[in-house]
Amino acid sequence: MIQDTAREQPVPVGGGTELFHVIDPRVFERRLLDELCDLTTRVRTIAKSNAGARFLQDLLPNCRAMFFFTQPSTRTFLSFNNACHVLGIRTNEIRDPSTSSEVKGESFEDSIRTFSSYVDVIIMRTREPGRAAQAARLMDTIARPVPVINAGSGSDQHPTQALLDIYTLDRSFSERGGIDGKVIGMMGDLKRGRTVRSLCYLMKNYPDVRLVFIAPEQFAMQNDVKGHLKEYGIPFTETEQLGKVLPELDALYVTRMQSEWDNAGESRAVDFKRFSVGTKELGLLKPDGIIMHPLPRGPELDPAVDTDPRAMYWRQERNGMWMRAAVLLKIFRLESRIRYLDLEAFAAQDGDNPLVS
Ligand code: NCD
């Protein structure tokens, strides 16, 4: 059982739309989200030409990032790593704690402080909740603080995933009035899935959104998130029957069973088929509805869905790299270098970058 006391407390992002630490999605306001989405599209567009790619590479050539990932990761690690490389940031990593001085008994605080001696940003993922917030608080007490980015804190939060999810929703609904007023379903292990927990915290920024939670009772969305939704007047309903609610959804965000958190194989007791999407379910989805998934997938998402134009998860995955580049640009206050650029000018200079689409 996850204790609410172990959940992270908000760490302020600073005044206005500035960004320093990225720890808790609750601190993100609409202005900043819109700015990040716009910046993401700009970076993605600029990178499409060779001249644009070179311009991006020159933005942060003297910047170094530390990846402290002691919990498994494929997408978040690779997308952040490549976002850094897109911007010219050099990267260091510790992914196996047995190779760090932790084995000599060095404290967590001393390890973080040591990383900060060599790099300009710390990007971290841990099995325990609250560690990134702890690192950020430590940074705020030292003379040379560096920003800390939470790339996944236990089963609690995953703020940059929520940002890329917002970007994916915003992009998908760009011709239908954006995210405002949409009906968004979240399905699967909502109790222990940090991506949906973080995404819920961003919903207060989008008027008239309605949420539909589709989960087995024992893995229902937790009270801390539901309390937050009630506080901000965001309507939500809960059901175990996907078929009944699917036709009304604009987006269905599918998640896997987070069985790595099982104490006694409790996720094995769940009938997955009731919380999965295949071609049969696609028949019930609106023609312009979308399917999202943070990946990796399990049996809850049939690969046969991949070829349907409403399957948005591969694009969602790729959006992650661009959104994370935008987050880094915002942290290092380079957004104005991008905001006023003539995006067409790069493409005109020397053609497309064949590596980017
Ligand atoms: C998610 C995570 O790590 O929380 N993956 C990701 O970052 N894209 C989702 C998951 O593992 O189920």
d(CA 310, CA 325): 26
- Average pLDDT estimate for 276-289: 98
96-100, 161-165, 193-197, 207-211, range with the lowest pLDDT:
96-100
Structure tokens at 324: 């994370």
Give catalytic residues, as residue numbers.
75-76, 104, 125, 158
Residue 12 has a pLDDT of 44
| Segment 12-21, tens digit of pLDDT | 444 457 899 9
195 Cα nearest atom in ligand 1: 4
Instruction: Tell me how far CA of residue 146 lies from CA of 8, 10, 63, in angstroms.
Output: 19, 18, 11
List CB contacts of 184: < 8 A, sequence separation 6 or more: 169, 203, 209, 210, 211, 212, 249, 250, 251, 253
- Average pLDDT estimate for 243-251: 98
CA–centroid distance, 97 to ligand 1, in Å, is: 20
CA-nearest residue for atom 8, ligand 1, is 294
Residue 14 has a pLDDT of 42
| Segment 125-139, tens digit of pLDDT | 999 999 999 999 999
User: 160: Cβ below 6 Å to ligand 1?
Assistant: no
Closest CA to 209 of 239, 186, 241: 186
Residue 318 has pLDDT above 60, yes or no: yes
Percent of the chain at pLDDT > 90 equals: 86
Residue 343 binned pLDDT confidence (cut-offs 50, 70, 90): confident
Structure tokens at 152: 């996944």
CA-nearest residue for atom 11, ligand 1, is 296
Residue 3 has pLDDT above 70, yes or no: no
d(CA 354, CA 357): 8
CA–centroid distance, 23 to ligand 1, in Å, is: 16
- Average pLDDT estimate for 286-303: 98
Helix H, strand E, coil C: the string for the chain is CCCHHHCCCCCCCCCCCCCCCECCHHHCCHHHHHHHHHHHHHHHHHCCEHHHHHHHHCCCCCCEEEEEECCCCCHHHHHHHHHHHHCCCEEEEECCHHHCHHHHCCCHHHHHHHHHHHCCEEEEEECCCCHHHHHHHHHCCCCCCCCEEEEEECCCECHHHHHHHHHHHHHHCCCCCCCCCCEEEEECCCCCCHHHHHHHHHHHHCCCCEEEEECCHHHCCCHHHHHHHHHCCCCEEEECCHHHHHHHCCEEEECCCCHHHCCCCHHHHCCHHHHCECHHHHCCCCCCCEEECCCCCCCCECHHHHHCCCECHHHHHHHHHHHHHHHHHHHCCCHHHHHCCCHHHHHHHHCECCCCC
CA–centroid distance, 72 to ligand 1, in Å, is: 9
CA 291 to mean position of chain CA atoms: 16
User: 294: Cβ below 6 Å to ligand 1?
Assistant: yes
Residue 7 binned pLDDT confidence (cut-offs 50, 70, 90): low
Residue 339 binned pLDDT confidence (cut-offs 50, 70, 90): confident
Residue 111 has a pLDDT of 95
User: 195: Cβ below 6 Å to ligand 1?
Assistant: yes
Residue 246 has pLDDT above 50, yes or no: yes
Residue 9 has pLDDT above 60, yes or no: no
- Average pLDDT estimate for 32-46: 97
Residue 237 has pLDDT above 80, yes or no: yes
CA–centroid distance, 348 to ligand 1, in Å, is: 38
